[in-house]
Amino acid sequence: MYIADLVNQKVYQVTDTTTSISEYGNDVNNVDMSFNQNEQSLQMNLTSKSNNQATLYLYDLKGTLITAWKLSLKSGNNTFKLPINLTSGIYLSNINSVNASLNIKIPVIK
């Protein structure tokens, strides 16, 4: 897959098509994240093994931080709808808590 950066006139090749890039710890798992174009929001479901605080960071492919959210996780299933307007492209998210760190790719197609 290739991604075109029309502003800087560059083409990037995506060689890894897995959703989860890396994980540390196992306190947070079963993460499902997608962009809902109709609601202009990130939809995220995850399971946490404990009540915890986490931060979700969202980056573009250049590594620029777009935004961050503080999340209150409860033990068990958690669902979040995070409002944001994104353009088409690939985004990288990082979820950090005391006992977990996950990186997830989010494709956005409009």
- The chain-wide mean pLDDT, for the chain, equals 84
Tens-digit pLDDT profile for residues 23-39: 455 678 888 899 998 99
pTM metric for this prediction: 0.75
CATH of domain 18-108: 2.60.40.1930
Q: Is the CB of residue 104 less than 8 Å from the CB of residue 19?
A: yes
Which pairing describes strands 65-73 and 100-108: parallel, antiparallel, or unpaired?
Answer: unpaired
| Position with higher pLDDT, 58 vs 30 | 58
Rounded (10°) CA dihedral 5, 11, 14, 15: -170
pLDDT band for position 19 (cuts 50, 70, 90): very low
For the chain, the structural domain boundaries read 18-108
Token pair for residue 44? 């995220």
Tens-digit pLDDT profile for residues 63-107: 999 999 999 999 999 999 999 999 999 999 999 988 888 889 999
CA distance 85 to 72: 22
Q: Is the CB of residue 36 less than 8 Å from the CB of residue 107?
A: no
Q: Give the model's pLDDT for residue 4.
A: 66
pLDDT more than 70, % of the chain:
76
Q: Give the model's pLDDT for residue 5.
A: 64
